[in-house]
Structure 1
Amino acid sequence: MSAQATSAARSEEPFSIRKILGPLAAIIIGIFMVVLDGTAVNVALPGLLQEFNTTYQVVSWTVTGYALAQAAVIPLAGWLSDRFGAKQVFLVSVFLFTVGSLLCALATSVETLIIFRIVQGVGGGMVLPVAMAFIYRLSPPEKVGAVMGMMGIPILLAPALGPVLAGYLVDYVSWKWLFLINIPIGAFGVYLGIRSLPRIERQAVAALDKLGFLLAPIAFAGLSYGVSEGATSWTASKTIIGIVVGAVALILFVIVELRRKDPLLELRVFRSMDFTKGIVVQWISQIALFGTMFLVPLFLQQAQHYTAFDTGLIMLPQAIAAGLFMPIGGMLYDKIGARPLVFVGMLIVTIAAYILSHVDASSGKMMIMGPLALLGAGMGMSMMPLNTHLMQSAPRDLVSRVTSLTNAAQQVMTSFAVAGLATILAKRMVFYGPTAKSELEAYSLSFGDTFLILTFIAVFGAILGLMLRKPAPIAGEEGGKQPEMMMHVG
C-alpha cells in the first residue's frame, strides 16, 4: 500500500489512542530510560567516589560529560530525522544509549566510566527531540494534546523516581545496577520500536549545513558547561572560558543560520511573538522544575540529614502528581488550548514555591511533601500543553527542527537553573552566616530566600501564560493534514 493510500485510509478511521499504544510505549520507554538516568547517577556520586578512589572534581564528570554530550547532539536531531527518518534515528539513539549503559556497568576506572557516559549522552540526547516530533506527527491535530500528555508522563515522572531507585540500588545492591537495569528495558524498547513504529516519510532536505553542524555543539555544550561550572564560581577561568566560547559560537551560529536557506535549526520561528512568549514560559518552568529538584534534596540531606533513599521517597509525591495531571492537561489542551492551562499551572507552581519558601529545619515531612505535590500538579498541567503550543506555532514540516531547538535551549536553561540558584543559595548563606544562631538556621533562611526568588520567577511565567494565543493555521495546512506515513513496520 502506498503512503498516500495509507494516510487516506487512516484519516477515514476514528482515532483512538489504543491504535498507537505500541509506538507510544516504545517512545515512552526510550524517554523514561534517558531522563531517569540523568538524575539517578547524581545520587551515586559518593559511592563512585569511594569505588574509584578519586576526587569529586573528577567523578563529577560522569554527570557533566553526559550532559555535554546531550547538549552537543540535540541540535543535530532534527536534520538527521528529516534526512534518515525519525524511526531509524530514534532506534539507533536508544540502541546507542543501551550499549553505553552496558559499557558503563563494565567500566573498570573512572576515566572509562566518563567516556562511556559520553557514549550514553550521545544516544540519549537525540531521543527526546525525535520522540516529541514523532508523537506530534503520529497524532491528528484534534488529539495531539492528549497524546502529548501521555508522552509527557515519563518526562516528569522519571526525574523524581531516579533518586529513589538510585538510592536503593546504591545503598543495598551496587552502583553498576544503575546501568545494568537499562539493558533489558532498552532491548525491549528497540524490539518494540522495530515492530510498531511507523515509517514517517522522509523530508526532502538540503545538504547538511556544515558550518552550523560545527558551531551548534560548541555553542550549546560550551554554554552548558560554563553555566554549570558557575555553580562553583562565576569568576573561575573554566567558567569564563566555557561561557565566552559558547557565547561567541552561539552568536556566529545565529548569524550563519539566519543567512541559510536551509538551516540546521530554524531560528526564524522566533519571529512569531507567540512562539517567543511560549518558549520563555517553558524556560521559566524548567527553572522551577530543575531548581526544585536541586534545592529540595540538598536541603533534606544537609539540613534535615535524610538519606538519599529517604529523600527520594519524600520527593515522590511530586512525581505522582505530575503523572496524574499530565494526561489531564493534554486532554484539556485539545478542548481549551494552552493559555488557561499554562496560567493555572504556573499559578499552582507559584503557590508551591511560596509555601516551600517558609520551610525550615523543623518542618515535618508533610510540610515538604504537600507543596511538592502541588508543584508536580502545576507542572503536569502546563508542561505538555506548552510544548504542544510551541510545535503548533511552527509549520508541520519544521516540527523536527523546532523540537531540536527547544530541547537544545532547555539543556542550557537546566544548567542555568541549577547554577543560578546554587549561587543565590551560597550568597544568602554568607549573608546569614554571621548573625544566625546556628548553621542550620542560616541554611533554612537561605533556602527560604532562594525559593522566594523562584516564586517571583513563577509569577512572571503565569503572566506570560495569559498572553499566549492559539497558533494561527499555517497556510496549506488547513484541515489538519497529517504527514504521510508508511504504516508497514518492518
Structure 2
Amino acid sequence: MSSQPVAAPAKLDGAVLKIAGVVVLGAIMSILDVTVVSVAIPTFMEEFGATYAEVAWTMTAYTLALATVIPLSGWAADRFGTKRLYMTALLLFTLGSGLCATADGIDQLVAYRVLQGLGGGMLMPVGMTIMTRAAGPERIGRLMAVLGIPMLLGPISGPILGGWLIDSYSWPWIFLINLPIGAAALIYAQVVLPKDRPEPSESFDFIGMLMLSPGLALFLFGVSSLPEEETVTADRVWIPMLIGALLVIGFVFYSFKPRHPLLDLRLLRNRNLTVASITLAVFTVAFMGAGLLFPSYFLQIHGETTLNAGLLMAPQGIGAMVTMPIAGMLADKVPVGRTVPFALILIAAGFFTFTQVGTDTSYVLLCGSLFVMGLGMGGTMMPIMTSALRTLTNHEVARGSTLLNILQQIAGSIGGAIFSVILTAQLNKSPMVPGVTNPETKEPLTEADLATLGQMKPEAVANFPDPGLLERGLDFAADAFATTFMVGFVLTALTLIPALFLPRKREVAHLNDEEKAATPVIMH
C-alpha cells in the first residue's frame, strides 16, 4: 500500500476562472484610471484654469495614496479576510470615481483622487492574493497570466479610451465610466468570492505603519517633484526624499523585531522571491519609465492627436496578448529562468529601434518594434511574479504580493521621474531663439520649444520669420528622445543580469501543515 498526492488539475476550472473575473474587473479599473487621466491633463488645465504643476497633482496624489495603503494590505487581508477587504477597496474606488466627476475645482479633484487611490492601492495586492489562493501553487502561472492582461493592456488602451471619451463627450466621463464597472464588480464579488476566514490573532504593527507609509509617501513626493524642479538639489525634492528614505531604512531595521511586521521582509530569505524582486525592480524602472515617453514621441515629434498616439501603441498590446497565455502555461511547466531571459532579449531588440528615432522614422518600423516589445512583455512580468509567489505558503502569499506591489509602485515612480528628468535635460540643451517668445506666456523659447509648439498649435507659429527653425527644433527634440530611449535600452539589457539568477530547475511549491493535511491521497 502506498500513497501519493493527487496532482492539481492541469487546467483552470470554471470556479477559479469566475474568481479571476472579479479580480480582472478591479485591475482594469485601477490600471486604466492611471493612464486615462494622464491624457486629460491639458483638459484639466483649460477647464480649471490651473497650471501644469497644479494639475499634475491629480496623478501624484493618486500615486501617493497607493503607496500609503499598499503596506496595510497584507495585514488587513489576514485580519479582515480577502473578500471583505476587496469589496471595501472596490467601494472606495467607485465612490472616489463618482466624486471626481463632480469636482468643480482642481483642489477638489486632487482630494477625490486620494480617495480613489486608497481603494485602488488595495485592489491589486488583495486581488493577487485571492487568485493565488484559488489556483494553488501548481497553477499560479496560468492564473497570473489572466491577471497580467489588464496590467499590460492598461497603459495602451487607457490613452485611446481617454482620448475618445474627452473628444466625444466630456472629461467627467473618464471617471463616470468606472461606476457601472464598479457596481458590477461589487455584485460579482459578493456572489463568486469564497467566504472569508480571517485570522484575528495577529496584532497590528502601528510603529511600522508610522515609519513605512509616511516614508514611502514622502520619498515618492520628492521623486514626483523632480521633473518639475529639474534638479535633485531643490528643497522640494531632496528634503522629502531624505526624510522618506530615512523612515524606510529605519523600518527595514525595525521590521525584523516584531512577530507580525507591517511588511514581512523575512520573506526575502526565500531566494526565488529575492531574485525575482530584484529583476522586477530593474525591469520596471527601465521599461515603465521609458515606456511612458512613447506616446509623447508620437505627440511631439510627429504631431499626432492623443487618440492616434494611443492607437499607435496598440501593437505592443497585441504582441503581449500573443505571448502571455503561452508564457502562463510555460511558467507552470518550465522554470522561468529558462524563458524570461529570451523575453527580455525581445524587449531589448524592439527597444533599440527607438534609440535611433528621428523626425521621419517609419511608422511600420516603429509599430513593428512595439509589437516585438509586446511579445517580450507578455513573457516577462507575470512569469517573474509567478516565480516569486510559487514557493510561498498560503499564509505568506498575501505578504509576498504586497511586497511585490510596493516594489513595483516605487520602481515605476522612480523610472517615470528619472526618464522625465533625462528628457527635460536633453531638451533644455536646445539653443534659444533670439527675439521669439511663446505667444501665450511671453516667455523665451528654445528651438525645441518652438518645434513642440508648432506641432501642437501650428497657428501659433504661422507668422514666425524663419520656418526652418521648426525643422531644426524637431530634429533636436527627436535626438533628445533617442538619447533618453538609449538609457532605457541599456537598463533593459542590464535586467538580464539578475534574470540569469532566476530558477533554472523545476520549483517545488511549499505547503503549510494545514494544506498538507488537506491534500487528498490515492491508496493503492
**What's the TM-score once normalised by structure 1's chain length?**
0.92
Match of 2:152 among 146, 153, 156: 156
Distance 1:183 1:294 in 2: 27
8 Å CA contact 2:393–2:511 kept in 1: the answer is: no
Tell me if structure 1 keeps the 8 A contact 2:141–2:331. yes
Per-residue deviation, residues 36-88 of structure 1 (Å, max 9, x unmatched): 00111010011011111122221111111111001100010000000000111
Q: Deviations over 1:125-153 (max 9, x none)?
A: 00001111111111132221111111111
CA RMSD of aligned residues (A): 2.4
Cα contact 1:432–1:445 (8 A) shared by 2:
no
Residue 300 of structure 1 aligns with which residue? 298
Residues 481 and 29 of structure 1: CA distance in aligned 2, closer, same or farther (over 3 Å): farther
Is residue 78 of structure 1 aligned with residue 112 of structure 2? Answer: no
The residue type paired with residue 123 of structure 1 is G
CA contact (8 A) 1:347 1:378 kept: yes
Question: Are 1:180 and 2:176 matched, yes or no?
Answer: yes
Unmatched runs of 5 consecutive residues or more in structure 2: 1-5, 433-446, 449-470, 520-524
Cα shift at 1:481: 4.8
| Distance of 2:416 and 2:518 partners within structure 1 | 38
Once structures 1 and 2 are overlaid, which stretch shifts more, 284-293 or 187-196? 284-293
What CA distance in whole angstroms lies between the structure 2 residues aligned with 1:433 and 1:397? 59
* Change in 2 beyond 3 A, CA 1:322/1:409: same
1:169-248 equivalences under 5 Å are 169-203=165-199, 205-232=201-228, 233=230, 234-248=232-246
1:423 to 418, 421, 424: 421
Equivalent residue number for residue 6 of structure 1: none
Q: CA deviation at 1:320?
A: 2.1
Give how far 1:474 is off: 6.6
Selected match of 1:439 from 473, 476, 498: 473
- Residue 315 of structure 2 is aligned with which of 307, 314, 317? 317
Report the CA distance between 1:293 and its aligned residue: 3.1
What is the Cα deviation at residue 288 of structure 1? 3.4
Percent identity of the aligned residues?
Answer: 33
Residue by residue over 1:7-28, the C-alpha shift from the partner in whole angstroms, topping out at 9 and shown as x without a partner, is xxx9887753323222111110
Q: Is the 8 A contact 1:68 1:221 kept in 2?
A: yes
Partner of 1:399: 397
Cα distance in 2 for residues equivalent to 1:17 and 1:219: 42
* 1:82/1:205 contact within 8 Å kept: no
Residue 359 of structure 2 corresponds to: 361
Is residue 449 from structure 1 mapped to residue 447 from structure 2 by the alignment?
no
- Name stretches of at least 5 consecutive residues in structure 1 with no aligned partner: 1-9, 485-490
* SS of 1:304 mapped into structure 2: coil
Q: Deviations over 1:79-99 (max 9, x none)?
A: 000000011111110111001
Higher mean alpha-carbon deviation, 359-368 vs 437-446, is at 437-446
1:374 is matched by which residue type in structure 2? V
Question: SS where residue 258 of structure 1 aligns?
Answer: coil
The structure-2 alpha-carbon separation of the partners of 1:457 and 1:52, relative to structure 1 and needing over 3 Å to count, comes to: same
- Distance (whole Å) between structure 1 residues aligned to residue 140 and residue 431 of structure 2: 51
Shift of 1:269: 2.2
| Distance in structure 2 (CA, Å) of the matches to 1:475 and 1:393 | 5
Is the counterpart of residue 112 in structure 1 residue 108 in structure 2? yes
> Residue 153 of structure 1 contacts residue 327 of structure 1 at CA under 8 Å; is this kept in 2?
no
18, 38, 43: which is aligned to 1:42?
38
Alpha-carbon separation, structure 1, partners of 2:359 and 2:274: 40
> Hey, what's the Cα distance between the residues in 2 that align with 1:265 and 1:376?
32
Q: Structure 1 475/53 Cα, relative in aligned 2: closer, same or farther at 3 Å? A: closer
Q: Distance in 1 between matches of 2:29 and 2:184?
A: 12
Change (3 A) 1:12 1:345: closer
Q: Could you tell me which residue of structure 1 aligns to residue 164 of structure 2? A: 168
Match of 1:124 in 2: 120
Going from structure 1 to structure 2, the CA distance change for 1:12 and 1:25 (only over 3 Å counts) comes to closer
Report the CA distance shift for 1:253/1:90 in structure 2 as closer, same or farther (over 3 A). same
Deviations 1:261-285 (A, max 9, x none): 2111111222344322211111122
Report whether the alignment pairs 1:59 with 2:93.
no
**By how many angstroms is 1:483 displaced?**
8.7
| Larger Rg, first or second structure (1 or 2) | 2
Cα deviation for residue 355 of structure 1 reads 1.4
* Number of aligned residue pairs: 476
Q: SS of 2:293's equivalent?
A: helix
| Contact in 2 for aligned 1:318/1:373 (Cα 8 Å) | yes
For 1:264-303, list aligned pairs within 5 A: 264-303=262-301
Query: Comparing 374-383 with 79-88, which one deviates more in the overlay?
Result: 374-383
- Name the CA shift for 1:187/1:336 in 2 (closer, same or farther; >3 Å): same
Partner residue, 2:17: 21
Q: Which contiguous aligned blocks of 4+ residues in structure 1 show a shift greater than 6 angstroms?
A: 10-14, 434-437
Q: Which whole-Å CA distance do the structure 2 matches of 1:266 and 1:395 have between them?
A: 13
Higher relative contact order (CA 8 A, sep 6+): 1
